[in-house]
Chain A
Amino acid sequence: GAVVSQHPSRVICKSGTSVKIECRSLDFQATTMFWYRQFPKQSLMLMATSNEGSKATYEQGVEKDKFLINHASLTLSTLTVTSAHPEDSSFYICSAVLAGTGELFFGEGSRLTVL
């Protein structure tokens, strides 16, 4: 089946620094990817829709200047958490759409801890 890989799987950073998380579709092209955030013991909430070659669409309440999304190629979307603070500590997980099928494939997730 199609594989989506996220990197890094875990990251610890200091408050005020920026962190980049990558989401790659390894064996298929994905014109659309989604970024979700999951706080401990909570559900997954959609942050933004990432479309290759265009600006991301953010959900209400998600700061686009804080969570920068770049989808520069058909196999890679990146999420950069800028000036991270402890409240940004969360599990970030991406999904990619296999073009033409509507099927979704999730990455393994990236656990961010901001000290």
Chain B
Amino acid sequence: AQKVTQAQTEISVVEKEDVTLDCVYETRDTTYYLFWYKQPPSGELVFLIRRNSFDEQNEISGRYSWNFQKSTSSFNFTITASQVVDSAVYFCALSEDPWTQGGSEKLVFGKGTKLTVNP
């Protein structure tokens, strides 16, 4: 069975600090997808990234970066120079590879990390 663990329940930082949100996953699949979503207080899910298990390259998008370490089954998310607008709950999620037989796009979510950025 698939499982996603986000050990950090809540993190509080001061604006301009860098912050890393941890995500550890478990799966028996050889191919799979990893995701990060942001959920602001309004509730909608904001897509941040989707990463295929074959692609272990780290990714940077503006102030956001992701570190995928297959050897430790981790997919950590770093926000550089955090801003108050980054305050939200962040979810890491895992799905099967929908292109394999019996695969599906359904997501297994971690419990989320609530990030508070203080001015």
Contact = CB atoms under 8 A, between A and B. Distances in A.
Interface of A: 32, 34, 36, 42-46, 49, 91, 93, 95, 97, 102-109, 111
B104 interface: yes
B44 A44 contact: no
A34 B105 contact: yes
Q: Taking chain B's interface residues, is the majority helix, strand, or loop, or is none over half, making it mixed?
A: loop
B107 interface: yes
Contacts of B99: 102
A106 B111 contact: no
Interface of B: 33, 37, 43-45, 47, 50, 91, 98-99, 104-112
Given A43-B111, A44-B91, A34 B44 contact: no
Nearest to B108: A46
B39 to A, nearest CB: 9
B28 to A, nearest CB: 18
A44 B107 CA distance: 9
